[in-house]
Amino acid sequence: MKTFSYLALTVPKTCEDMMRNMRNVCSMVVIVGLLLFGFVSVSQAAVLTKEDFNLYGYVEASYTHNFNNPNSQANALRIFDPDANSFRPNLAQMVFEKEAKSAGSNTDRGGFRIKLNYGEDAQLTGGTAPDDFDFQEAYAQYIAPVGNGLDLRIGKMNTLIGYEVIESPLNHNFSRSWLFGFGEPFTTTGVRASYEFNDVVNFSIGAINSFTGAQSDGNRGKSVEALLGITPLDWLGLSIFGFWGPEGVVGAKNTDRLLIGGIVTAEVTKQTSLVLEGYYANQANAARTVTSTAPAGANARWNGIAGYVIHDFDDQWGLRFRGELFEDAQGFLTGTPQTLWEGTATLQYKPTPSLITRFEFRYDKSNANSFQYGQRAANNQETLATEVIFLF
């Protein structure tokens, strides 16, 4: 299996200090913006009615069969579908929100979102155990009257990084990619500013507690995530995302984590779309992070690329394909230095607009024996899954 190597870049201490100062400035700018624009004038206040609020959500359940029949009863290296040969009540999600508007009174410009999860998957988004509750998102929002509208948010939010998301109805496949499941944050807690310059360019930047989505900061340092979106043509989109900040334990030095990547989306026809995502990530001094047992002073690197083909025959039937290559060079994320690749094919059928059913076959392969075939170690696994989602 072909692997990739990268040049190690040494950043002078003066440059590191400049970047840290930049990070602090970003935090202060967003916070000051929230304070300046977050106060609602009583004289402009309007009476809110039930039409100003939205309540919606979904319920998801699944079954996954592992052809390896592992004695562990686990689908190795899977995040949202870890149970082998078992039914899984994945998630029940409810969202209560008031959408902020870029025009109108201060009351119109203010908003919030509360997204509550319950089920087996809730422990992956912040819950402490299976069948736990978790507030996946909980933030306040204000669109300041600056230019086209400066969108300011504070609280817990879905990350700016990556193509796939926690919410299964918004993904094209049932199982998640390794790029998302292992190498990217799910949610972030902090402050965020977003601005849409025009129909072509938009930009978002946030100061956050942690890459891991932790609601409390484990090292007293703040990190930065950012997203630049460009739509040069109606059928073509480009997103460039990045993360940078300290991810070590309290008192640890030189523990910056860097991730930079991008997404290209192309609507080939009205029924067929192509997506390509890739990124590179590096954790400095990995032994000083809370999740690592790496040798002292060693860096950890992970990188990958995934491609998607999405085709809808009509409003009911569709096919989705995903191919992925993921390298965990030092075993920082998966526990074993390895290169992984997978191929996934998903058939989607919607009997009604509110009911989504999926049938999925996936093949996983590693250059290490990271899977299990019965009692013995294996370098591959095959799964067949079905998923049902009801939207309300």
pLDDT average per 10 residues of sequence, the chain (392 residues): 33 41 46 43 56 96 98 97 97 97 91 96 77 89 97 97 97 98 95 98 96 70 95 98 88 87 98 98 81 66 98 98 97 96 98 98 98 97 98 98
The residue extents of the domains of the chain are 13-41+52-391
Please give the model's pTM, rounded to 2 decimal places: 0.85
**What is the model's pLDDT at position 253?**
77
The CATH architecture that domain 13-41+52-391 belongs to is Beta Barrel (2.40)
Quote the CA–CA distance of 80 and 126 in Å, as a whole number: 13
Express each pLDDT in 84-110 by its tens digit. 999 999 999 999 999 999 988 888 999
At residue 375, what is the residue type?
Answer: Q
CA–CA distances in Å: residue 283 to residues 14, 117, 298: 19, 30, 9
Quote the CA–CA distance of 375 and 378 in Å, as a whole number: 9
**What is the model's pLDDT at position 217?**
67
Each residue of 214-233: b (16+ CB within 10 Å) or e? beebbbebbbbbbbbbebee
Q: Please list the residues that pair with 139 across neighbouring strands.
A: 113, 155
**What is the model's pLDDT at position 79?**
94
Residue 34 gets which letter from DSSP?
Answer: H
Quote the CA–CA distance of 192 and 225 in Å, as a whole number: 9
CA–CA distances in Å: residue 120 to residues 1, 113, 123, 131: 34, 22, 7, 5
**What is the model's pLDDT at position 216?**
62
List phi, psi (to 5°) of 52. -80, -10
| Cβ-based neighbours of 212, under 8 Å, separated by 6 or more | 185, 247, 291
376: tokens are 């013995």
